Chain A
Amino acid sequence: MRVLVLHAHPVAESYNGALFRHICENLTKAGHQVDACDLYAEGFDPVLTQQERLDYHDLVKNIMPVAGHVDRVMKADALVLCYPVWNFGMPAIMKGYLDRVFLPGISFKLEAGKVKPNLQHIKKVAVVTSYGATPLRAFLAGNPPKRFAMRTLRYLCKPGASFSYQALYDMNRVSLEKRNQFLSRVGDLMARF
């Protein structure tokens, strides 16, 4: 399978960076073709511009500023997202990827004001993330990033696509042992992806 791995963390030697590399290595080892997209390393600009907003519903013009990224999404058979949760949401650079690349005509179609999912070629999705918050604090906030992944993202992909949400909570306090366990759990998941 061709797997697009989207990653959003500024620090390469961070735990999240380690997760990203581990994901890519294990997918490659399992025989998948990996398209590793490190948004920070690629210098992705997450700000949707005035012109992009004006052209948003023009299915020819809207993809022009991000044609390369659109192409990578359309070629992928599976998606893996790897990012930290900051302030109960994804980092701005990841959110902006959705704002700018998940366009009408690409990830969804707008028919008479109604949204139709359009990522039917995506058969597998995994979200790998880490929270500063404890599970309780995340639960009290209604865990918005989890909802986004499990409901919205899932809805866009092929019906019945396999879906996995892997989260490590309480990052500021969790032990080295727990972090290593999580890393190997994610590695195993990718080896079987």
Chain B
Amino acid sequence: MKVLVVYCHPVPESFCASVKSTTVEALRKAGHEVDLLDLYEEDFNPVMPVEERRIYNSMTSGEQCAYPEHVARLMSAEGIIFVYPTWWYGMPAMLKGWLDRVWIPGVAFNISAEGGVITSNLRHIKRLGVITMCGAPMWWSYVVGHPGKRTILRGVRQLINLKAKSFFLAHYLMDVSTEQSRADYLGKVQAKVAKF
């Protein structure tokens, strides 16, 4: 399967970077074709500019996207895995901006001209994974409703294949993580991704 790995962390020596490498290796070992998109490395600009917003609702194709190459990669993916740190219970601004600017009408979904009804356009994506590191403990993340998890696993998910299989794998309490907890987590990532 062709898997798009969307990675977003500013520090190349971070634990998140190791998690990304583990993910990519495990996917390759399992026979998948990996397309790695490193948003910080690409210096992706997450701020939707005014002229883009003005035509947003009338967009009908990926050519109107400022990142047509990203559109092509999204359209040819059969699976997608997001690897990012959870900041303020959600994805980093850069990753959120990637959804804002690339998952646009004519690409991720269509808005019907007559009724304004949204129909999905990414049914070719049959697998979805989220791998993230949270500062908060698990119980607290659930108390606050895990908004970041919901944005992807329930929001974004409405746009991909309805029968898509998905997983969410988090390392909680990152600020008091130990060498052991991090090693254990990398093991879990490997095992999870190997079955993707």
Is there a chain B Cβ closer than 8 Å to A182's Cβ?
Answer: no
Q: Annotate A93-118 by CB proximity to B: 1 below 8 A, 0 otherwise.
A: 10110110010000000101101000
Is there a chain B Cβ closer than 8 Å to A60's Cβ?
Answer: no
Q: Chain A residues with Cβ under 8 A from B195's Cβ? A: none
> Are B50 and A40 in contact, CB atoms less than 8 angstroms apart?
yes
Which of A46, A49, A88 lies in contact with B150, CB distance below 8 A? A88
Is there a chain A Cβ closer than 8 Å to B96's Cβ?
Answer: yes
Is there a chain A Cβ closer than 8 Å to B138's Cβ?
Answer: no
> Are A95 and B93 in contact, CB atoms less than 8 angstroms apart?
yes
Q: Which of A14, A40, A46, A173 has the most CB of B within 10 A?
A: A46
Given contacts A50-B11, A89-B151, A144-B147, contact A173 B116 (CB under 8 A): yes
Q: Chain A residues with Cβ under 8 A from B87's Cβ? A: 48, 98-99
> Are A88 and B155 in contact, CB atoms less than 8 angstroms apart?
yes
Interface size class of B (residues with CB under 8 A): 35 or more
Which of A11, A88, A89, A142 lies in contact with B53, CB distance below 8 A? A11
How many contacts between A and B, using CB within 8 angstroms? Answer: 155
Is there a chain B Cβ closer than 8 Å to A54's Cβ?
Answer: yes
Q: Chain B residues with Cβ under 8 A from A99's Cβ? A: 87-88, 92-93
Which of A46, A113, A148, A172 lies in contact with B46, CB distance below 8 A? A46
Q: A90 to nearest B CB, angstroms?
A: 7
Give chain B interface residues in 11-47, CB to chain A under 8 Å: 11-12, 14, 40, 46-47
Q: A29 to nearest B CB, angstroms?
A: 29
Which of B40, B50, B116, B147 lies in contact with A148, CB distance below 8 A? B147
Is there a chain B Cβ closer than 8 Å to A86's Cβ?
Answer: yes
> Are B90 and A148 in contact, CB atoms less than 8 angstroms apart?
yes
Q: Chain A residues with Cβ under 8 A from B156's Cβ? A: 87-88
Bound-state CA distance A170–B115 (Å) is: 11
> Are A152 and B89 in contact, CB atoms less than 8 angstroms apart?
yes
Give chain A interface residues in 58-101, CB to chain B under 8 Å: 86-93, 95-96, 98-99
> Are B90 and A142 in contact, CB atoms less than 8 angstroms apart?
no
Write the chain B residue with the least CB distance to A142: B150
> Are A90 and B96 in contact, CB atoms less than 8 angstroms apart?
yes
> Are B11 and A172 in contact, CB atoms less than 8 angstroms apart?
no
Is there a chain B Cβ closer than 8 Å to A135's Cβ?
Answer: no
Q: Chain B residues with Cβ under 8 A from A145's Cβ? A: 147
Q: Chain B residues with Cβ under 8 A from A140's Cβ? A: 154, 158
Given contacts A95-B90, A144-B151, A152-B144, contact A113 B173 (CB under 8 A): yes
Interface CB pairs A-B, < 8 A, 29: A10-B47, A10-B49, A14-B53, A46-B46, A50-B12, A53-B11, A87-B151, A87-B155, A89-B91, A92-B46, A95-B90, A96-B46, A96-B93, A98-B88, A99-B88, A112-B176, A113-B173, A115-B140, A132-B118, A141-B150, A142-B150, A142-B154, A144-B147, A144-B150, A144-B155, A147-B146, A151-B144, A172-B111, A173-B116
Residues of B within 8 A of A (CB): 9-12, 14, 40, 46-50, 52-54, 57, 87-94, 96-97, 99-100, 103, 111, 115-116, 118, 135-136, 140, 143-148, 150-151, 154-156, 158, 173, 175-176
List the 10 shortest-distance A-B pairs measured between CB atoms, nearest first: A96-B93, A92-B97, A88-B155, A172-B116, A147-B145, A113-B176, A92-B46, A144-B147, A46-B93, A142-B150
Residues of A within 8 A of B (CB): 9-11, 14, 40, 45-50, 52-54, 86-93, 95-96, 98-99, 102, 110, 112-113, 115, 132-133, 137, 140-145, 147-148, 151-152, 155, 170, 172-173
